Chain A
Amino acid sequence: MKPTNIFDPNYFHKVVDCQWACPAHTPVPEYIRLIAQERYTEAYMLNWDSNVFPGVLGRTCDRPCEPACRRVRTEEKPVAICRLKRVAADNKGDISAWLPRIPKIKNGKKVALLGAGPASLAVARDLMPMGYEVHIFDKETKGGGFMRSQIPAFRLPEEVLDDEVDIILNLGVEQHFGFEVKSMKAMLDMGFDAYFIGTGAPRGRDLDIPGRKEVSANISIGIDWLGSVAFGHTTSIKGKVIVMGGGNTAMDCCRTAVRLGAESVKVVVRSALDVMKASLWEKEDAMSEGIPILNNRPPKEFVHENGLLKGIVFEVLRPVTGADGKLRYEPSGEPDEFIECDHVLMAIGQENHCPWIERDLGIQFDKWDCPVLNDTTLQSTLPKVFFGGDSAFGPENIIWASAHAHRAAISIHLFLTGKDLLNDRPPEHINLVSAKMGTHEWAYDSEHDAAPRYLVPHADKKKALADIKLEVELGFDRELGAKEAQRCLNCDVQTVFTDKLCIECDACVDICPMDCITFTENAEEDELRLQLTAPANNRQQDLYVSKGLKTGRMMVKDEDVCLHCGLCAERCPTNAWDMQRSVVLVPQLGSQAGC
């Protein structure tokens, strides 16, 4: 293998598993350290800088970071990254001094943001400090998009959302609420210099099986129903309810239905439990509220008597994993199952849908009716029009909306300053700063804390089920937050090796608790992975390979399960190992990384 180039910004970025997995690349270990130091406001602002909605995300994020967390590999349970974000948000002080300064004199360019969901709001946040005149349009009366209309209040209190939406709108965004965009052409005629389309994926899928038309009165499309609950139009649901679907909409529908007085609620899903789209914790939350989830049951027919819904017939399948590792469903041999119900909430997916974009404006759509975009710049085939969030590639989540927004904002800025959207794009950087403060002193808490993951306290179940607005999760208090913060391994404090200093004494090999380090002869990667102190069979994790040493061998470190405990550096007599804090600079408008 060739020696590793640690100055490639991606090399150490990848070692910070959580940050690498986060679509917005939030510097997770850094904010966790700030929480441990009770510097909540700074922790909040670090989050705000990269993911824009820390209070919302600290409660609702899909948290791709957590399954990626190194602790999953060194023990089992990840650090509660998401809930720690909430600790920062719950305990933050006055942030006004930390907010970006907005130029009073504008730069003369006007940008229109269509839709006021997280994607558009985040674009506004990035463009405002650059002096743009930003206009936001939404058919609703308030900003927030699906965060307001879909995510139920028992998961996300309205005040938290209002607070974070207002921070952005108060930067001086021109607001056009109650404005339904009916024609893109009309919008283009308004003469903005650039457009960002962040109107989401607002159309819920329907299911065409026998009986569907006859029972329309008893069927609601999940996202429409949740929206009408959120805006207070629907306040109750009667009788027995079946929720069809296995994603997060289904989970929010069933938990909302229980709170609105349904006699019984069941979730019935086509797929098997562990491949359902909903996150593990969402399923657990639903089940802990007594809602059964029935799997492997595709619907066959709505049964009705003269248009009055009686129930649904489901086929019963059996999931089998084939030799190729793929999951298939076979007939189980069991008879079809009839499940009684009075009301159905259909939560089987959504689509992006922009009927108001005329198809002769130069904005091309593909065969799935998604806009044709450049993956990096998010620019459409009409140069002044950009997409992001759910409207770009179909339904995702809030953190992806933020990530898209940062990318689109850079593109818009490059576009409006006459630069090339790809070639002039600012690159990522990495800074390395030694964390050494003394012989046994590091600028971080290097000691490994073996504590298992702390549980987030919940509200009393009885009270929670009776009140749709009562937040179920209470969040960590400061003390629990401080304890959970200690579980973070500080993966951004990197082990950096200087080959010229190494005397090959083996001290680092001997002390390393995780058998990460080996001095060995060079070989091809496949072979090398087998000849290490502990076999390195996690191919997703890199090997850190040094240049040849005095004995002709080289140092190979498997990054897989390193605890970042710094013991290698403490035991090294020559400082050939050093622990260095890596700061990944992800280009972003208006942030310290700037462009």
Chain B
Amino acid sequence: MTFVAKPKVHHPRLPLNDIGLTRRDYEGSVSTLCAGCGHDSVSAAIVQACAELSIPPHRFAKVSGIGCSSKTPSYFLSKSHGFNSVHGRMPSIATGANLANRELYTIGISGDGDSASIGLGQFSHIVRRRINMAYIVDNNGTYGLTKGQFSATNDKGSTSKRGAPNLYEPIDLVSLAIQIGASFVARSFSGDKKQLVPLIKAALMHKGMAFIDVISPCVAFNNHNGSTKSYDYVREHRETVVAADYVPHAEEITADYEPGTTERINMPDGSILQLHKLAQDYDPHDRVAALHYVQSRQAEGEVVTGLLYLDPNPMDCHDILGTVDTPLNQLNEADLCPGNAALGSVNASFR
């Protein structure tokens, strides 16, 4: 950690985004995590993604649970809304926030302990409910904050820093998310911002539950030779199947890819998501095949990354519930309590 605050001065030629802000305007306070923690890179990627999207910082809501990962919302978007909740309970808060104000861009930050151990129930149900948010797990295979116990995503047979093996099967959050209703599922690596930043942008602009599992090494407790979540292991065993590229305006598409390898998806706001297939036969719209591929590679110790699954017809909870377009927190008393007559007719409709 650092005691010295990051100086406010910035590079004299730092680019401005469409609303005249620099990337530095999206930062938070200085991190208190261990030097070299992957989580800090994820925060930096979020900062860059939000700045590049040119969304004003106050339009974001950041919510988290407990853990080193869940501390990170302090380190980005200091001018946004935030709630640091209790262990494993981020999904409840995120659900409430999104129901109350559907216009905010909701970023949920959690850890593998927070989401796969204590919070697995909440995780499952927020995914099923398809809350419109970017749900990011900083996955280091350990409880960093409580000094390095195995978490539920730690691979069987991988060891602790002292050499003791993990005896339990891992929970794969990506597979679970694909299975139970997430419409955007990706895996990435904190050490690869080129891949991660476009994924975060796409996740934020995606309408529905967008889940990203980011392998984010814990330098203090899980970056040793027996770990499958270390910088070295991930770099050696990583395979990217689909690279995403978020393009804010259609006319900006310049790069030419080999025909048949690139797919363009129109996003609700007029922007475009380009998918570049790096693995020949991988189809990111086929749920069952995606699950199969991820699982079979995992069985061989490989880590599949990139955009793994994208629902061609996504829906979010507001679509499912049929809520009004106006955010609920902006409705006035008359709208919310339309009176006896209205209640009568509602009741009548059920008779």
**Docked complex: A271-326 residues within 8 A CB-CB of B:** none
**Nearest CB of B to A234, in Å:** 49
Mark interface residues in B200-228 (1 if CB within 8 Å of A CB, else 0).
00000000000000000101000100000
Query: If A504-B191, A505-B219, A534-B11 touch, does A571 touch B2 (CB 8 Å cutoff)?
Result: yes
Q: Are A505 and B7 in contact (CB under 8 A)?
A: no
A515 interfacial by beta-carbon distance below 8 Å = yes
Q: Could you say which of B37-45, B137-145, B335-343 contacts chain A?
A: B37-45
B36 interfacial by beta-carbon distance below 8 Å = yes
Q: Are A511 and B193 in contact (CB under 8 A)?
A: no
In Å, the complex CA distance between A561 and B12 comes to 8
B13 interfacial by beta-carbon distance below 8 Å = yes
A149 interfacial by beta-carbon distance below 8 Å = no
Q: Are B217 and A513 in contact (CB under 8 A)?
A: no
Query: If A503-B36, A505-B217, A506-B41 touch, does A565 touch B7 (CB 8 Å cutoff)?
Result: yes
In Å, the complex CA distance between A95 and B40 comes to 52
Mark interface residues in A557-595 (1 if CB within 8 Å of B CB, else 0).
000010101110011111000000000000000000000
A446 interfacial by beta-carbon distance below 8 Å = yes
Q: Are A511 and B2 in contact (CB under 8 A)?
A: yes
Residues of A within 8 A of B132 (CB): none
Which of B3, B7, B193: most chain A Cβ within 10 A?
A: B7
B35 interfacial by beta-carbon distance below 8 Å = yes
Residues of A within 8 A of B40 (CB): 506-507, 510-511, 571
Residues of A within 8 A of B43 (CB): 510
Q: Are A505 and B191 in contact (CB under 8 A)?
A: yes
Q: Are B4 and A505 in contact (CB under 8 A)?
A: no
Residues of B within 8 A of A551 (CB): 235
**Nearest CB of B to A559, in Å:** 13
Q: Are B10 and A514 in contact (CB under 8 A)?
A: yes
Residues of A within 8 A of B115 (CB): none
**Nearest CB of B to A386, in Å:** 44
In Å, the complex CA distance between A537 and B11 comes to 12
B14 interfacial by beta-carbon distance below 8 Å = yes
Mark interface residues in B28-66 (1 if CB within 8 Å of A CB, else 0).
000100111110110110000000000000000000000
In Å, the complex CA distance between A504 and B35 comes to 12
Residues of A within 8 A of B14 (CB): 515, 534
Number of chain B interface residues as a range = 20 to 34
**Docked complex: A491-540 residues within 8 A CB-CB of B:** 503-507, 509-511, 513-515, 534-535, 537
Query: If A73-B12, A507-B41, A514-B10 touch, does A573 touch B35 (CB 8 Å cutoff)?
Result: yes
In Å, the complex CA distance between A507 and B220 comes to 14
B6 interfacial by beta-carbon distance below 8 Å = yes
In Å, the complex CA distance between A417 and B295 comes to 81
**Nearest CB of B to A513, in Å:** 5
The chain A residue sitting closest to B36, CB to CB, is A573
Residues of A within 8 A of B10 (CB): 513-515
State the majority secondary structure of interface residues on A. loop
In Å, the complex CA distance between A504 and B41 comes to 11
B232 interfacial by beta-carbon distance below 8 Å = yes
Q: Are B6 and A511 in contact (CB under 8 A)?
A: yes
In Å, the complex CA distance between A579 and B335 comes to 63
Residues of A within 8 A of B164 (CB): none
B8 interfacial by beta-carbon distance below 8 Å = yes
In Å, the complex CA distance between A75 and B8 comes to 11
B231 interfacial by beta-carbon distance below 8 Å = yes
Residues of B within 8 A of A337 (CB): none
Q: Are B12 and A505 in contact (CB under 8 A)?
A: no
Residues of B within 8 A of A105 (CB): none
Residues of B within 8 A of A573 (CB): 34-36, 219
The chain B residue sitting closest to A71, CB to CB, is B9
Q: Are B36 and A570 in contact (CB under 8 A)?
A: no
A450 interfacial by beta-carbon distance below 8 Å = yes
The chain A residue sitting closest to B8, CB to CB, is A450
Residues of B within 8 A of A509 (CB): 44
**Docked complex: B124-170 residues within 8 A CB-CB of A:** none
Which of B3, B9, B43, B217: most chain A Cβ within 10 A?
A: B9
**Nearest CB of B to A166, in Å:** 45
In Å, the complex CA distance between A510 and B28 comes to 12
B69 interfacial by beta-carbon distance below 8 Å = no
Q: Are B7 and A450 in contact (CB under 8 A)?
A: yes
**Docked complex: A431-470 residues within 8 A CB-CB of B:** 440, 446-448, 450
The chain A residue sitting closest to B34, CB to CB, is A573
Q: Are A505 and B231 in contact (CB under 8 A)?
A: yes
Q: Are B7 and A513 in contact (CB under 8 A)?
A: yes
Q: Are B41 and A550 in contact (CB under 8 A)?
A: no
B98 interfacial by beta-carbon distance below 8 Å = no
Residues of A within 8 A of B217 (CB): 505
B190 interfacial by beta-carbon distance below 8 Å = yes
User: What are 8 A-to-B residue pairs whose CB atoms are below 8 Å?
Assistant: A440-B2, A505-B37, A506-B41, A507-B40, A513-B24, A550-B235, A567-B6, A571-B2
What are the 10 closest A-B residue pairs judged by CB atoms, nearest first? Answer: A573-B36, A448-B7, A510-B44, A534-B11, A505-B36, A515-B11, A571-B35, A573-B35, A506-B41, A513-B7
Residues of A within 8 A of B (CB): 73-75, 440, 446-448, 450, 503-507, 509-511, 513-515, 534-535, 537, 550-551, 561, 563, 565-567, 570-574
